[in-house]
A and B are shown apart, each in its own frame.
Chain A
């Protein structure tokens, strides 16, 4: 039986780039602090065990899920849950930007980032293999899904997670600050994320636990501002911008119930309608591809 009420902490840290040992020590200290503040679940940012701009270090900091470091994280989760961001190496030597959910000493779920940004300042597609699934999972604290950073910029991922019955979305993130164009206390990217998080929480009547990092890597800063949002869009906790922080909030799944009673949008969601339209769009694209191929053949 899942707890309807539990406490979540977000550890907004500044990892050392490529230094897993140092970052493990930070995980330990932060988990202790979060537990001291009453947290059942401690959420860490994307790739916070390794740092972000790893480039050619990806293969050297990668961890198989049966390694001592990962066991250490599992131990750290005893008495609660812990969400870690790391480079996962598979038995066939692929490397994923993964988030691992540990509960009371065991791995409950692994999400592999499905959308790897490879544009502008991002180069993830060069270094990582792409995750191919979005799955909600059950834990002692209800049903949840993990989406990593860029995943959330594709609304289909949240849509799938919500239809897969997630009531909480954990979003570990490493979001670079950028765009300082008008008179605000935070950059444009921070404001876009805040809009996105509160929109998703309300649209899908679920909790959003957004865990971003801070610090700089080669001059690129990360804006922090981690937040925990309830299904009405209310911010239950908000971390500082641009500075390390630890935030804690109590999640009561009953407030998702209340929201879904008032606006049963998810109940009314017509999955068949969506699938049919998506199939039509996919078939049209396939047809167009075939037609253009035939056209080229005919020209010859």
Chain B
């Protein structure tokens, strides 16, 4: 639900979907082809983020050059699979299903006390290894599906769903992803449904986080993009506790957005004073 914020504040939700679509398809085509590749693989969960990434990739590279991999666990909802199939059908992209239940269950037989977080992280990392394996098999890059909201909040698994070679939607808040999804004709049901990591029955992001995406996106937009101070955020109608909690989440998850720290010894340490673009020579 939208937060009770004053309408005078600039809004995060106004990114023009047609322009964003044009830029992001150009981004995918450019960054994939200049490293000598033609294809991407993407994990398709049935949610809106991976649907948007997959559709953009199909537009940028052609449907034949996009491989969607569905990687359900036995507890995954039937609706997720149905929605993933709708995206595959609508775009005509290549598809593959790899059920991760056997390897997940085999692992946790040894560690039966593992909580939901450990299980969820393990599943996310299992899926990552499958995507990277098939990217090697298919000579493709792994396409990311993390949005700016979850990247900032750290609401993702390091080396799991956060791992990719390129991510077209990493600078779009969830609300902006919804707007883009409508523009590129992602099935309506996928846009309308409650976002969920689908790690256990009935899980929803908003229930787990304790706030709504529209509310937190507007806060993050003012806090991060426009650098509002705490006082300005309070004046914009945000509760101090909410601001503090979200600020803490962003700060405490900074490690997830960086490479591991390296102990500096030499004069040229990777990512400190050994600085090259990823597109070095491309």
| A interface residues, Cβ below 8 angstroms from B | 14, 16-19, 53-57, 177, 180-187, 215-219, 221, 242-243
Total A-B pairs in contact (CB under 8 Å)?
Answer: 66
A56 pairs with B19, CB closer than 8 A: no
Interface SS of A by simple majority: loop
A180 pairs with B281, CB closer than 8 A: no
A18 pairs with B16, CB closer than 8 A: no
Which residues on B sit within 8 Å (CB–CB) of A217? Answer: 277, 279
| B167 CB, min distance to chain A CBs, angstroms | 8
- Identify which of residues 231-282 in chain B touch chain A, using a CB-to-CB cut-off of 8 Å: 274-282
B22 pairs with A55, CB closer than 8 A: no
Which size bracket describes the interface of B in this complex? Answer: 20 to 34
Residue of B nearest to A185 (CB): B19
Judged by a CB distance under 8 angstroms, whether B5 is at the interface is no
Which residues on A sit within 8 Å (CB–CB) of B30? Answer: 14, 215-216, 221
Please name 19 further chain A to chain B contacts, defined as beta carbons within 8 Å, in addition to the given A57-B276, A181-B16, sorted by A numbering: A16-B282, A18-B281, A55-B276, A55-B277, A56-B276, A177-B23, A180-B16, A180-B19, A181-B15, A183-B14, A215-B30, A216-B26, A216-B27, A216-B30, A216-B279, A217-B277, A218-B277, A218-B279, A219-B166
With A16-B34, A182-B16, A184-B16 known to touch, is A242 a contact of B23 (CB < 8 Å)? Answer: yes
Residue of B nearest to A186 (CB): B19
Residue of A nearest to B27 (CB): A216
| A33 CB, min distance to chain B CBs, angstroms | 21
A218 to B275, CA, bound (A): 13
A218 pairs with B278, CB closer than 8 A: yes
Judged by a CB distance under 8 angstroms, whether B126 is at the interface is no
| B239 CB, min distance to chain A CBs, angstroms | 26
A57 to B275, CA, bound (A): 8
A90 to B16, CA, bound (A): 45
B279 pairs with A242, CB closer than 8 A: no
Of B14, B166, B281, B282, the contact of A181 (CB 8 Å cutoff): B14
Of B15, B31, B278, B279, the contact of A180 (CB 8 Å cutoff): B15
